[in-house]
Amino acid sequence: MTIPFYKYQGTGNDFVIIDNRNGLFPKDNHSMIAKICDRRFGIGADGLLLLESHHKVDFIMVYYNADGKLGSMCGNGGRCIVHFAKYLNIIDENTVFEAVDGLHEASINNEIVSLKMNDVDTMEVTANSVFLNTGSPHHVEMVEDLKNYNVAEKGAFIRNNTYGKEGSNINFVEKVETNLFAVRTYERGVEAETLSCGTGVTAVAIALSETNRIDANNVELHTEGGKLFVHFNKINDTYYNVYLEGPAKQVFKGEWKW
């Protein structure tokens, strides 16, 4: 059996995406999903996305981490699958789809996708970090000399020792200029640094606002894989109308044999 697939990337965060509207993909074969994502023995990706049919909205997004296990919300994956849905002529410029954390609105203009994230009204702020959930759990910490920071070692330590078995994604942040910050992220499930993390930069933007490090409701974030933008509104303690915006690109397509 062969499975057609499409390779996508959103600011360097890369995914295998499969049209599973026929329901034939073996969703319980977690070892195969991990092999597909393996960069030496498979296609290679930070995660795998399935696009499936929905009876009310445009489609369902099912996301697996590179380890083959079902993951929490993936912001860059969400942007990439919107591009894929337009490629399949399922949508035009606007869409509503379902992910693991609920419904999401999105729009696409050429290869720029703006994805609405969930509201955030709860976070834990300490002297050194902020912890919050933007569809996935995120630890946000300001550092110096981010370019040379040991993200793999420090990220793995905090992920495992501070947050236990469930773990958390770990974001290290450095200010570049007013309302412009650099971000590097260690992702659980991938268990390594990725070039970009959509829910991560969303968490960073909200954390920066909460700790009064930005003076606007929008922020530009530079990841290792490119630029992303986050804008939001805030009333009292709730962040709403949270949007993640940036490029999504189809890289190539092929067939997986199993």
Query: 232 and 204 in contact (C-beta within 8 Å)?
Result: no
Distance between CA atoms of residues 57 and 223, nearest Å: 32
Catalytic choice (17, 37, 60, 74): 74
Q: What integer pLDDT is reported at residue 258 of this predicted model?
A: 79
Helix (H, G, I), strand (E, B) or coil at 45: coil
Distance between CA atoms of residues 6 and 229, nearest Å: 25
pTM metric for this prediction:
0.96
Distance between CA atoms of residues 177 and 18, nearest Å: 40
Q: At which residue do the structure tokens 């993640």 appear?
A: 244
Q: What integer pLDDT is reported at residue 236 of this predicted model?
A: 93
pLDDT tens-digit profile, the chain (258 residues): 899 999 999 999 999 999 999 999 999 999 999 999 999 999 999 999 999 999 999 999 999 999 999 999 999 999 999 999 999 999 999 999 999 999 999 999 999 999 999 999 999 999 999 999 999 999 999 999 999 999 999 999 999 999 988 899 999 999 999 999 999 999 999 999 999 999 999 999 999 999 999 999 999 999 999 999 999 999 999 999 999 999 999 999 999 997
CA atoms within 13 A on the CB side of 191: 11
Q: Is 37 a catalytic residue?
A: no
Query: 106 and 75 in contact (C-beta within 8 Å)?
Result: no
Distance between CA atoms of residues 88 and 67, nearest Å: 27
Say what the alpha-carbon torsion angle 234, 60, 8, 91 is, to the nearest 10 degrees. Answer: -90
Contacts 24+ apart (CB under 8 A), 131-134: 131/168, 132/203, 132/206, 132/207, 133/203, 134/73, 134/75, 134/199, 134/200, 134/202, 134/203, 134/206, 134/242
Catalytic choice (61, 190, 197, 207): 197
Angle between helices 75-87 and 198-210 (to 10 degrees): 130
Distance between CA atoms of residues 258 and 244, nearest Å: 36
Q: What integer pLDDT is reported at residue 164 of this predicted model?
A: 87
Q: What domains are there in the chain, each with its CATH number?
A: 2-112+248-257 (3.10.310.10), 123-246 (3.10.310.10)
